[in-house]
Structure 1
Amino acid sequence: MTRSAVALAAVLALTGAGAASAAPAPKMGISDFAQLQTPLPYPYDEQADADAVVAKAKARAKAAHKLLIVDLGGNWCPDCRVLAATMARPELKAFIDRHYEVVMVDVGRFDRNLQIPARYGITRRLEGVPALLVIDPRADKLLDAGHVAALADARSMTPQALADWLAQWVR
């Protein structure tokens, strides 16, 4: 079993998530990140008003009965860029669009927009980026507490493991 498979199994066990309760993940058409389209995106708008974009995304998610993902990261971060490129793959993008509203928030070098994770009880320094906050917008509740940095080493995972991680929160 690969290290990413072991990590994913541990996350699923700790969260109580699993195939029986989660939506099935889409099957990824690539097996390696080297197959991603290049150049990798720079997904974070460093000039955005994070409070405003998160509020708008939360309202859209609530109205559409979707979950909200707040992707905290920086354009300097290779794992953030790999995650963004993987999420843009057609098979995963269709799944995400069906189940999630996604908003990207630039956290600089862990020194910007930290009020966003603080709203959900994350007041210590982020353990790494990308850090994904999976939020139920109806209850304004963080669903992946304790696991927001699970994708901080996204490059050590596989594209399928990333898809599986995203799918585990969908009921």
Structure 2
Amino acid sequence: MTMTGRPGRVLRGVLAALSGLLLLSGCVVVGGRPVGGPAGGANRPGGVSGDSMGLARPFLPLPVVAPAAVPEGYDPSADAAADLAAALAAARADGRPVLLDFGSSWCEDCQALTTLVQSPGVHQLLARDYHLVTVDVGHYDRNTELAARYVTLPGDGIPALVVLAPDGSKRAAPGAQQFADARNLGADQVANLLVDWLFTKN
């Protein structure tokens, strides 16, 4: 009988024995709880708790974000300047950008965009990641001073969208007439654009 292979078998045996001892002593921790040992850290050296030694925690907890309001359509009686000021104040508090939507209810493409905004996926993105402000521009004769700060009407057409950073600076401005044909857009296209704008800075 030869000794070939015996050192390897001996080493494996020693490792198996050590693993068993560790399990019995409560030194192996999964998800913050020791396996084979008491919960908590009352009898651990230095008062180190099992929670602080957890090994199975790949993700940090995300903060709970309260959904933002998502307006339905364009309200001609709304105070657009006050709505924008309130949205920017909320943006400074939570870091979410403001999405300005200039349009009017007589416009078919504005109606189409309103329908897309209320679709589940787009609505969820807006509520979670933006503060949406819809601004009624009538027949290009309402809220004109506010609109002129961000878009060129009627040249850009409506609906016209602009993304603002929490400090009020323009963060992203879709190309002119990108949404002037909103009736031919799908919810997935709008959702993709919303995600893209979160990472776009002019």
1:67, 1:101 within 8 Å by CA — same for their partners in 2? Answer: yes
Q: Tell me, yes or no, if structure 1 residue 117 matches structure 2 residue 147.
A: yes
Q: Are the equivalent residues in 2 in contact too, given 1:154–1:162 (CA < 8 A)? A: no
User: Which residue of the partner structure matches residue 181 of structure 2?
Assistant: 153
Q: What does residue 162 of structure 2 align with?
A: 133
User: Measured at CA, do residues 110 and 160 of structure 1 come closer, stay the same or move farther in structure 2, by a change above 3 Å?
Assistant: same
Change (3 A) 1:69 1:125: same
The CA RMSD measured in Å over matched residues stands at: 2.0
Distance 2:72 2:88 in 1: 22
Partner of 2:192: 164
Cα 1:79/1:146, change in 2 over 3 Å = closer
List runs of 5+ in structure 2 lacking aligned partners.
Answer: 1-70
CA distance in 1, matches of 2:180, 2:153: 16
In structure 2, relative to structure 1, the CA distance for the partners of 1:97 and 1:48 (3 Å cut) is same
2:112 counterpart of 1:76: no
| Bigger RCO (CA 8 Å, 6+ sep) | 1
| 8 Å contact kept, 1:110–1:126 | no
- TM-score normalized by the length of structure 2: 0.58
TM-score when scaled to structure 1?
Answer: 0.68
What's 1:35 paired with? Answer: none
What's 2:171 paired with? 143
Task: In structure 1, list runs of 5 or more residues that go unmatched.
Answer: 1-40
Mean Cα displacement is larger for which, 86-95 or 65-74? 86-95
1:49-64 aligned within 5 A: 49-64=79-94
Question: Take 1:72 and 1:79, find their aligned partners in 2: how far apart are those partners?
Answer: 12
Deviations 1:6-39 (A, max 9, x none): xxxxxxxxxxxxxxxxxxxxxxxxxxxxxxxxxx
Contact map agreement 2:98 2:132 (CA 8 A) in 1: yes
How far apart, CA to CA, are the structure 1 residues paired with 2:176 and 2:92?
21
| SS of residue paired to 1:112 | coil
Larger Rg computed on CA atoms: 2
For residues 44-76 of structure 1, give each alpha carbon's deviation from its aligned partner in whole angstroms, at most 9, with x where no partner exists. Answer: 111111111111111112212101011100000
Deviation at 1:104, TM superposition (A): 0.8
Tell me the SS of whatever aligns to 2:172: coil
Q: CA deviation at 1:101?
A: 0.2
In structure 1, the residue matched to 2:123 is: 93
Alpha-carbon distance, 1:146 to partner = 5.7
